[in-house]
Structures are given as structure tokens and as C-alpha cells.
Chain A
């Protein structure tokens, strides 16, 4: 396992090294300051403002105005994406001649990509035109990510602001985030990925007469341009059904490493941005430390568990110990070139963030290894989390921790000099509890009724329960990874399923859950930002509880675990943990 831990260590070192430079860059972008790309992009930015009719010194918006712009923008894009998915038959860039799927599937997919979830009840290469992938889905990979980051910027401005109610300007924020952050990294990253073997073309599927005399059809497409933003924007929706396990999305150990870095680098760097904007780097590092501790714990658990192998493999007489020239461990649903370590690390990276891209089959994870994605999602995606969304959700937990800490020491809670009042705590509690509530209600409805059963692959046993719970855990947290046996759509060309059909219950419930659990918390976060904006700052005194020391990090980690564990531990116990500890086999 030495080589495995070495790879994990290298990943962590590179990630931490990127936090400060990228964090500073992001802070400058948020503050509309000059950056090294300004000479190139400045004219384009000014042109964009003229086009959008936003003033050059864009007027500030209070939280309600900011929220209205965000909701209008997202709603319009929802309609456009739905239309794109419904009109596949008349689109260009459609070499395979695909038509649209059922309407309920389009509803689910539209809701999924608008909300940065990228839950996929479809297989990309068997159902979608290149046009729908590029102009529909990949656009949302950029835009939904920018919206998440913009909400964070607005929240930080609210926390910092000492006078006035302005949270910044929504249109200016998304323009700058797209132009200065997401697009430049995507262009460089896409070309790098192509150079390593990720395909990028608009051609027909290639028919190949194989070496042994068979036939193999290789689907093609504009993959690299979508792959890079799928990771960078913590979206996760694969061009191909098997996502980043497919060699044309992720061809080598190096691309695997780079793609993991793309997933985690913005969420990690934003903690530094935060410290810089509130005027104390220690505040940023404290939040980073809490996230980092929970992340590393998950990586180690999943790696050890996967290296052990599964009860089914041991019962079959397979020896899962590693030896020279063999990875050992549970290689079911994993690729040889990534091995156990490369897949374990990815599994943790993609579930602490709200990415949800996978490079192996989650449903084939060991019981205890599989409990890690469950737990990470149970933490409501605050351990790094999605771009922007992770940190703004974590800041709600920070305020909650300040409140609970304040109760313990018997002082009025305050954060960065601002008194936390009843209104703030009510909004924070709603923001923190809404996502778990959505998970439990929807997963409960799907488990307890016949309606959810049609989507199950594994049947009525702990793995089947996991499929069901994880489907709603993933959609409500806008993650998008899956216990992939669970389905809302039977593929048109899959063996034995010529007529495609949607499973309407799963598609509609999932779509509603994704939209609710994305936009309701955003509104609560903006309302918190509005409540904090312009509040008087009192100087720190002797009795002020510090929020930048190890004690506070410990408190914060404890509260994240407490909320996540109390809410989900009983359910996780019934699924992966009973698989892992019980060791019984099920049909």
C-alpha cells in the first residue's frame, strides 16, 4: 500500500500548494481588481456589460435584488435547456440520429444540470446529440458552477460589509467568474486532456474490425471540452455513461490525478479567498483545516476497506491480497490503470465535493468503503463541497458552531465582530436542515412505496436499500454520483431493452428534490448575507470566542459530524454498514 499512500500524499501536497495562489486570484476576481488576464479579457468583459446593459461600475444589489436576478436567470436557463433536450431530432451535430427521450427524463436531466447536480438517468453516448451535450449540458456545467461561486461571493460581502446593504451585482459576478476563472482554466485543461488521449471531435462512431476478427464500434464526440468543466465546476455529468472510468474520458494515471485536482482546487482555494476577504487568513485556514481533517479521514477509510476485498470475492475463493504485479483488493468495477488507490482517492474527492463524477462503480464498493460516500453526502457537502456551494454551506455551520459555542460559554454569539441574532440563527437552521429533510422525505417515500421499487437493480436487500437512499442523498445534495443500478430510464440500445421508457416517479421526484434543495438553501444563504450586511462590528474583547484556533476547528468538525451522523447514521447502518459488518450474501 506504500505506492498508494505515496500517490495520496503527492495529491494532497499539490492541492495545498495551489490553495494560496488560486485563492488570491479568486479574491481579486471577486473584488473586480486587475489580474494578469485583464489586458486580454478586459475588453471582452466591458463588451459583455454593454450587451447585458449592466453599468460599468455595476450598481450594487441588496439580497432580494441579487436573489431575484439569480432566480430569473436560472429559470430562463431551465426553460432553454428543457427545449434543447426536447428538440434533439432537428439538431445539428447529431451523427447517430438520436431523438429525444421521454419528457419526464428531460425534466429530471434539466433540473439536474441547472442545479449543478448532474444526476444522470440517461447514458450520454446512447441518447444525446453532440449539440445537446455541448450547447445544453456543458453550458450548464459552466453556468451552474458560476452561480454557486457568485452566491458565496455575495455571502462573504454580507459578512464583511460594515455599511450599506449591497451584496455586489449578480450579473457582474457571473460574468467575471466565467470569464476570468472557469473559461481560461477549461481551455488549458481541455487541450491538456486531449494531448493525453481524451477524444475531441465531431465525427461518427468508428466501426473497427478488431485484431481477433470481431467488430467494435467506438463512440466519438467533443469529450475533452466537456470533461474539463465537468470536473472544474464540480458538476460530474459524464459524456459517457460510465463517466470518468471510460478511457476516452480518463485515459491514464496522470489524467486521473489532474482531473481529481480540477475537482478539488477551487473549493479548497476559496477558503483562502475567504480569509483574504474577511481580513484574516487564519479564519480561512481554520475552515480549511476542518474540511481537510474530514476529507483525509474518508480517504483512509475507503482505501483500507477497498484494499481488503468483498465478502462475495472471499466466498468465491479469490485471494485479494496484493503481491508483486497485482494490485489485490476489490478491483470489481475498477480500472487496472487507476488501481485501488486511484479509485479510492477519487471516490472521496468526488463525494466530499458535489462533483459526483466517478472513475469506478460505487455499487461495487465494499460495505465500509461505500459508507464513505454516504457519510460525505450526509455532511451536506460542506467538506470542500461544490464550487462556492461548499463554502457557503460550511459558513452556515460556522455560524451554527458560533451560536452553540456562545451558549456553552454564556455569551451573545458573535462572528467576526457581528452579533448573531435570532433572525440569523433561524435562517441558518433552515438552511442547514432543509437538505437532510429533503433526503429523508424523498428516500422514505421511494423506499416505503411500490413506486420506488421499479428503479431498483439489486433487489430488496441492503444493497438495494443503498441504491434508493443514495439516489436521493445524491440528488438533494446536488452531487450526482450514483449506486448506478438504480434507474429512472432504461437505455434504448441496452441488451433486452429496445423500447426506452422513463420511470416517471423517480424522474419527477428526483427533479423536484434537486431544484428545491439547490435554490431554497441559496435563498436562505442570501437572506443571511442580507441580515449580516451593514451590521455594526464590535471590537474583539477578552471574552470573545475565537473562531480561528484549533478549539474552534474541533468544535466545527464536531457539529458537522453531529448533524450529519444524527440525521443519517441509522439509514447508513441499514445499507452499506450492514453489508460491511454483517458479511452475509444476498440474492
Chain B
């Protein structure tokens, strides 16, 4: 028996409705239900609280300014969590050259008074390049160790203590091998602020 166009249309109509219900409604709602019960924290965005008040997400970076904080990476979106886009700085763009040049100068100017041996050659790449997401939660260990001198001096903490806090707030490679280690800037700043609050 061969099926005609009419049969195909009928079967097709039933199929698209059934698949939309199963794959488009039941499946995501079931996953949402199970996730909300089994993994409530991660399912809602891995939020971080200080004194019972939500101050951010472990996974989403924030902008920090001034001398008393560890700074996150440059961002094309100003650390937006609801409008995301790439910076799209091209490899051969004069604009990208100028931006990096300015970031480099600003980074050295900010940190050199506290880390006297700092030169442009010591600046790690993550400190002056825009991340992909615009909300990179991490900086490199080298970046954190340079900024540690400044934060320790401004907050009047021993450098060794600040470096200890950096180690405690570094996410290593997953399973010891996958990805790169990163220092979680929000968590580190929370720890620093708890140890030596501003004012």
C-alpha cells in the first residue's frame, strides 16, 4: 500500500502537534520540575549571599572600580546580565590596538604604586582583553597576584593573608585537568570585604 499526499499531510499535522507538546512543553517543564527539586541552587543561577542578602551569582562576574577591590576583566557589555553580545574586536583592528594600549596603561598606572617592579611585560593577557561573555567571573592567578599588592595596601591587610584568600577563591581546572584555573573575583572580593570592611 502506498501512502498518498493526503495521508502524509494528516500524519504530518498530528506529528507536529504531538512533537511540539512532548518536546516543547512536557520535556522542558519536566526538566524544570526535577531541576528545581534536585538542584535548586544551580537551577536558579548559583546565587551568592552576604548577610542573607543576594549580592550576585558565583557564575556571573561584576564590575569593580576603585583601589579597594580586585577588578574583573574588561567587558564589552559593562557586565550586563540581560543584554549580551560579543565585543568583536578583530585581530587586525586599529581600534582593538588602541583599546588594549589604554587598558595596559591604566592597569600599570593603577597597580604600579603598590607593586613597584610591575612593567607592561608582566601584565597577563586576561587583564586587558575583553571576555567573550562580557561577564567572565574569573581572572587569572597572575592577574590576582598583581592586584593583591594594591588591595592589601589599601585595605591594610598583610599581603600573605590576601594571597591566602586568593588561593581559597581559585577554582582549579575541572577534575584537575579540564579548562584553566580562575580566581572568582566576586567571591574573592566578598572574602576581602569580610576580613577588612571598607570604613
Contact of B182 among A77, A336, A359 (CB under 8 A): A336
The answer to whether B28 and A316 touch across the interface, beta carbons within 8 angstroms, is no
Residues in B76-112 with C-beta less than 8 Å from chain A = 79-101, 104
Smallest CB gap from A582: residue in B = B92
Contact of B104 among A51, A80, A317, A580 (CB under 8 A): A317
The residues of B that contact A199 with a CB separation of less than 8 Å are 42-45
The residues of B that contact A116 with a CB separation of less than 8 Å are none
Smallest CB gap from A334: residue in B = B132
Residues in B2-39 with C-beta less than 8 Å from chain A = 2-3, 5, 7-16, 18-20, 23-25, 27-28, 30-32, 34-36, 38-39
Smallest CB gap from B102: residue in A = A316
The answer to whether A218 and B32 touch across the interface, beta carbons within 8 angstroms, is no
The answer to whether B54 and A68 touch across the interface, beta carbons within 8 angstroms, is no
Q: Kindly supply a per-residue 1/0 record for chain A positions 239-255, scoring 1 wherever the CB is within 8 Å of any chain B CB and 0 otherwise.
A: 01110011110011110
Asked if A337 lies at the interface with its beta carbon under 8 angstroms from chain B, I say: yes
The residues of B that contact A53 with a CB separation of less than 8 Å are 7, 10-11, 14
The answer to whether A210 and B88 touch across the interface, beta carbons within 8 angstroms, is no
What is the distance, in angstroms, from A44's C-beta to the closest C-beta of chain B? 9
The residues of B that contact A491 with a CB separation of less than 8 Å are 83, 85
The residues of A that contact B179 with a CB separation of less than 8 Å are 7, 252-254, 256-257, 337-339, 342
Q: Kindly supply a per-residue 1/0 record for chain A positions 62-73, scoring 1 wherever the CB is within 8 Å of any chain B CB and 0 otherwise.
A: 000100110011
Smallest CB gap from B9: residue in A = A72
The answer to whether A494 and B85 touch across the interface, beta carbons within 8 angstroms, is yes
The answer to whether A76 and B12 touch across the interface, beta carbons within 8 angstroms, is yes
The answer to whether B83 and A579 touch across the interface, beta carbons within 8 angstroms, is no
How far is B170's CA from A348's CA once the two chains are assembled, in angstroms?
28
What is the distance, in angstroms, from B104's C-beta to the closest C-beta of chain A? 6
The residues of B that contact A431 with a CB separation of less than 8 Å are none
User: Please, how many residues of chain A have a CB less than 8 angstroms from a CB on the other chain?
Assistant: 136
Asked if A436 lies at the interface with its beta carbon under 8 angstroms from chain B, I say: no
The answer to whether B129 and A191 touch across the interface, beta carbons within 8 angstroms, is no
The answer to whether B65 and A139 touch across the interface, beta carbons within 8 angstroms, is no
Residues in A317-335 with C-beta less than 8 Å from chain B = 317-320, 323-335
What is the distance, in angstroms, from B163's C-beta to the closest C-beta of chain A? 12
Contact of B11 among A171, A457, A483 (CB under 8 A): A171
The answer to whether A332 and B45 touch across the interface, beta carbons within 8 angstroms, is no
The answer to whether B180 and A342 touch across the interface, beta carbons within 8 angstroms, is yes
The residues of A that contact B50 with a CB separation of less than 8 Å are 211
How far is B1's CA from A134's CA once the two chains are assembled, in angstroms?
37
Asked if B173 lies at the interface with its beta carbon under 8 angstroms from chain A, I say: yes
The answer to whether A463 and B93 touch across the interface, beta carbons within 8 angstroms, is yes
How far is B124's CA from A331's CA once the two chains are assembled, in angstroms?
10
The answer to whether B131 and A187 touch across the interface, beta carbons within 8 angstroms, is no
Q: Kindly supply a per-residue 1/0 record for chain B positions 42-83, scoring 1 wherever the CB is within 8 Å of any chain A CB and 0 otherwise.
A: 111111001001111111101111100100010000011111
Asked if A360 lies at the interface with its beta carbon under 8 angstroms from chain B, I say: yes
How far is B149's CA from A31's CA once the two chains are assembled, in angstroms?
66
Asked if B130 lies at the interface with its beta carbon under 8 angstroms from chain A, I say: yes
Asked if A428 lies at the interface with its beta carbon under 8 angstroms from chain B, I say: no
The answer to whether A135 and B31 touch across the interface, beta carbons within 8 angstroms, is no
The answer to whether A312 and B89 touch across the interface, beta carbons within 8 angstroms, is yes
The residues of A that contact B7 with a CB separation of less than 8 Å are 53
Question: Which residues of A line the B interface, CB within 8 A?
Answer: 3, 6-7, 10, 48, 51-54, 59, 61, 65, 68-69, 72-73, 76-77, 80, 123, 125-126, 134-136, 138-139, 142-143, 171, 174, 178, 183, 186-187, 190-191, 194-203, 205-206, 208-212, 214, 216-220, 222, 224-226, 240-242, 245-248, 251-254, 256-257, 309-313, 315-320, 323-339, 342-343, 358-361, 363-367, 370, 457-458, 461-463, 483-485, 491, 493-494, 579-580, 582-587
- A73-B15, A224-B43 known; 5 new pairs, CB 8 Å cut-off, are A186-B27, A206-B47, A217-B82, A313-B125, A333-B87
Task: Report, nearest first, the 3 A-B pairs whose CB atoms are least far apart.
Answer: A253-B179, A135-B24, A339-B180
5 contacts between A and B (CB under 8 A): A211-B64, A241-B84, A313-B97, A316-B104, A334-B132
